[in-house]
Chains A and B, each alone.
Chain A
Amino acid sequence: MSEVKIIEFEEGWNFMQMGITKLKKILEGEELCFSSQEYMMLYTTIFNMCTQNKPPPNDYSQHLYDKYREAFVEYINYTVLPSLRERHNEFILREIVKRWANHKIMIRWLSRFFHYLERFFIARRSLPGLDEVGLMCFRDLVYEELKGKARDAVIVLIDKEREGEQIDRGLLKNVLDIFVGIGMGKMEYYENDFEDAMLKHTAAYYSRKASSWIVEDSCPDYIKIRVSHYLHVVSETKLLEKVQNESLVVYTNQLLEKEHSGCRVLLRDDKAEDLSRMYRLFHRIHKGLEPVSNMFKQHVVAEGMVLVQQAEDTTHSKSETPFFVRKLIELYDKYMAYVTNCFSINSLFHKALKEAFEVFCNKIVSGFSSAELLASYCDNILKKGGSEQLSDDAIEETLDKVVKLLSYINDKDLFAEFCRKKLSRRLLFDKSANDEHERLILTKLKQHCGGQFTSKMEGMVTDLTLARENQNNFQEYLSNNPSPSPGIDLTVTVLTSGFWPSYKSCDLSLPVEMAKCVQVFTEFYQTKTKHRKLTWIYSLGTCNGNGKFDSKTIELILGTYQAAVLLLFNSSDRLSYSEIKSQLNLADDDLIRLLQSLSCAKYKILIKEPSNTTVSSSDHFEFNSKFTDRMRRIRVPLPPVDERKKVVEDVGKERRYAIDACIVRIMKSRKVLPHQQLVAECVEQLSSMFKPDLKAIKKQMEDVITRDYMERDQENPNFVQVFSLNQ
């Protein structure tokens, strides 16, 4: 092998040059190809020139490595760049793509010819590999010179497409592949040389366009499609962000406040579709929905306040109040539909709706709290001949709404108390339209507010059923024992006192006829149970009696008190106020009300002296035998006592107990607490029934301290602790 002839560099390189020239011709489009023999020869030449290492100058490795690079440089300078420089716009992109493809072919072939260099020379000296050298040549010479031009051309194309033109997406994809490929696995080139500029441009573009975007919410979707077609995937999120930022975030307020298309206007004009579009747009942005939900809230509050004002202006009597609640329900329906349909039940909007309703649902309307109005509204639905005539389904639906509205009302306990009052009226005076509906509302309330909320009312309904049974037993008892006959038909409704609202019971001296009844029933009741105390509430009783007037007999439907007054006139024709008072043992205000209803109102069954419209203690009364009416049966109404004040007072008292119990309960479990926290926990625990005010809690706390259940901490008066004696 020592015979091998030394190849001089000139000689060897000339041979290589031939191969390179042929390769260039192929790249320029000539129909040539390398035979495997040619390829072998070229490779062998390099091999030989690198391995003839006897005298050091004959190892041409370094020389060849340099020449390898030169081959690229030369080709680029003489062929590639000139052809690129004369092209512009889309054409330069096409040329670049073509040249890039060629360059990669050139690298592939040349690196094969020179492959032996890679084996020892490059590896030993840690030089850049052959592929890398080729790429670097392209990057330094072509890419660096033309990247700006190419980028601009790409952006121009993208703009064209944004404006709706058809473009060669494949071309763009290929160009961008160069930006990615040139980084040799790193994205820096792509990011710095292209993406940055593109994002900036996009931002500028969309900020110019932003105002017209409002209607076209589909923009983000549109971008998404384009990205998958030719942009590198990492740009997608960035691009989306950019677009959103420019077209929405920056313009959020402007958009929302716009005079003709802003959120407020959309709400005002009920543009549901636009609102849902707005929701879809803004929900992509971080915190984007907050301003929208705020506006929603403000809008609902404003609408609600209008209702309050309207009710304030038109409501002068209680009978008109259903109007307000009905309007509230309509308002609720409308905006709940928005939350569901436009804002896809987003919790932010749910909250906004709740907060908005809480604002105006807790306003006092013409002196009535909404708790009371809502209770009256229920009463209207549930009672016989109420002003709301609804089908069964409609009733159920309306009751549902009422319960929902109730959740916005702070004074739930007040509602419960009014409800109970109305329920007792319906039950006792047989005004309830439908038992099922009564149970229905109780079930609904129970679901929403807990069992405690409705337990008394449920007890009332049950009581009435039991009372009917009891009455039957009483009838049976009477028919079996004819001796203790009450003398008149008697119906007694026995109630459990704890369930029902408290009623004033007074020691009316009953006329003998009635006293007999009471006695008979008491005897009967004692046969059933001995451990219960019967309290008679005469104020809730009714009596049907015949009034024998000169012209005809009229059946009178009276309250027990009224009947007691009239019965006195069976034995005397004329009585003074004080005589009546002493015989019946009634308080003045009750008696005045009674006499007024019998002598000064529509039916003048008694003649008052002097004849005027107010009853005073010096008046005299006489039975009016001339009285007559076209009806055979009349109800003599007794003006109801205004119970509102009492209900409110009762609720106030209940609240004090509730707060008290709550404080004790909390302190029992916590032992020591800062004052603030105790207050906060109280509010929290009681909020399902009412919103206790701070002062009320503090008062009860003082009370609990005075009762030695808890004490202030010696060192820190802002802390309270369970009093040690009671531990």
Chain B
Amino acid sequence: MDSPAANHLDIFDIYGRYCDIMSGAYATRNLVDELQKTRFTREALNQLMKLVDSSLHIRATIFEEVYKLKLRLNLEADFSEFSRFYDFVFFVIRENRQKNITISKAVTGWKIVLAGRFRLLDHWCDFVEKNQRYNISEDTWQQVLAFSRSVHENLEGYDREGAWPVLIDDFVEHMYRIGGVDTISNSFCFSCGDSGAQPFEDSFPG
């Protein structure tokens, strides 16, 4: 990984490599070597991360890059593709190999990635900006996608006993408290104009 190469790297290359690493890990999932595979994947991701960090150009305009990538990818058809893209966004907006991302980055990221896919997106981002004090962990990031898929605008489908992160629990509580569950569906109608607003009905892969 020589640094000159990194300067030529664009977001599409990075995403391509990311996909290779991830699918390599998943496609040949083999119980015997799973431990090694996980290690290998991790190591590869770390290398990739170093590369991204060294490319100042990408770092500086990361959100524009992500948006460009989103426009280019055909994400409507296949949820697993989108899911990978979603995970990638967390990976790529993380800085200096930190484990978590700041709230403002997370919110910006969600607004780009989940636009048209999460009916409560505006409420969610508002809530997180106002109430969350800590950084967003990868687990929370991933669970937000699952939450956006399983919950309708009236919060139907949310299971209080489920293993949702506390931030999501708090959000649901907050929505009920502000009595907004009904009004949400109204405001949702506006964002409904977006073609991508249809909920995904396909199931998780494998």
Contact = CB atoms under 8 A, between A and B. Distances in A.
A403 interface: no
A311 B106 CA distance: 49
A678 to B, nearest CB: 9
A244 B188 CA distance: 64
Given A717-B143, A717-B146, A725-B38, A702 B204 contact: no
A675 B166 contact: no
Contacts of A717: 143, 146, 163
Per DSSP, chain B at the interface is helix
A255 B92 CA distance: 73
Interface residues of B, number: 23
Given A706-B100, A706-B137, A718 B163 contact: yes
Interface string A673-705: 001100000000000000000010011011001
Interface string A710-727: 001001011010001101
A525 to B, nearest CB: 43
Contacts of A695: 166, 169
A675 B39 contact: no
Interface in B8-64: 34-35, 38-39, 42
Question: A676, A705, A706, A717: which has the most chain B beta carbons within 10 Å?
Answer: A717
B169 A706 contact: no
A676 B139 CA distance: 18
Contacts of A676: 161, 163
A702 B165 contact: yes
Contacts of A727: 35
A715 B143 CA distance: 13
Interface string B125-147: 00000000000011110110010
B99 interface: yes
A507 to B, nearest CB: 31
A698 B137 contact: no
Interface string B88-100: 0000000000011
Interface in B141-168: 142-143, 146, 161-166
A715 B206 CA distance: 8
B201 to A, nearest CB: 19
Nearest to B170: A695
A698 B206 CA distance: 27
B162 A718 contact: yes
A727 B169 CA distance: 30
A17 B42 CA distance: 117
Interface residues of A, number: 17
Interface in A108-147: none
B35 A724 contact: yes
Contact of B139 (A705, A724, A725): A705
Contacts of A702: 137, 139-140, 165-166
A724 B143 contact: no
A712 to B, nearest CB: 7
Nearest to B163: A675
B166 A698 contact: yes
A702 B146 CA distance: 16
A695 B100 CA distance: 20
A701 B143 CA distance: 14
Given A698-B166, A712-B163, A717-B146, A706 B35 contact: no
A416 to B, nearest CB: 27
B138 A724 contact: no
B204 A715 contact: yes
A727 to B, nearest CB: 7
Contact of A698 (B38, B100, B138, B165): B165
Contacts of A701: 163
B35 A725 contact: yes
A466 to B, nearest CB: 43
B169 A698 contact: yes
Contacts of B139: 702, 705-706, 712
A720 B163 contact: yes
A715 B165 CA distance: 17
Nearest to B150: A717
A718 B143 CA distance: 11
A698 B162 CA distance: 10
Contacts of B39: 725
A698 B138 CA distance: 15
Nearest to B143: A717
Nearest to A678: B163
Interface in B165-193: 165-166, 169
B138 A706 contact: yes
Contacts of A725: 35, 38-39, 42
A447 B165 CA distance: 38
Nearest to A700: B166
A726 to B, nearest CB: 10
Question: A701, A702, A715: which has the most chain B beta carbons within 10 Å?
Answer: A702
B166 A699 contact: yes
A700 to B, nearest CB: 10
Nearest to B137: A706
A717 B163 CA distance: 7
Nearest to A720: B163
A715 B203 CA distance: 11
Contacts of A699: 166
A725 B41 CA distance: 12
A340 to B, nearest CB: 40
B157 to A, nearest CB: 14
24 contacts: A675-B163, A676-B163, A695-B166, A698-B163, A698-B166, A699-B166, A702-B139, A702-B140, A702-B165, A706-B99, A706-B100, A706-B137, A706-B138, A706-B139, A712-B139, A712-B142, A712-B163, A717-B143, A717-B146, A718-B163, A720-B163, A724-B34, A725-B35, A725-B42
Interface of A: 675-676, 695, 698-699, 701-702, 705-706, 712, 715, 717-718, 720, 724-725, 727
Pairs of residues from A and B, 3 with the lowest C-beta to C-beta distance, nearest first: A675-B163, A706-B137, A705-B139
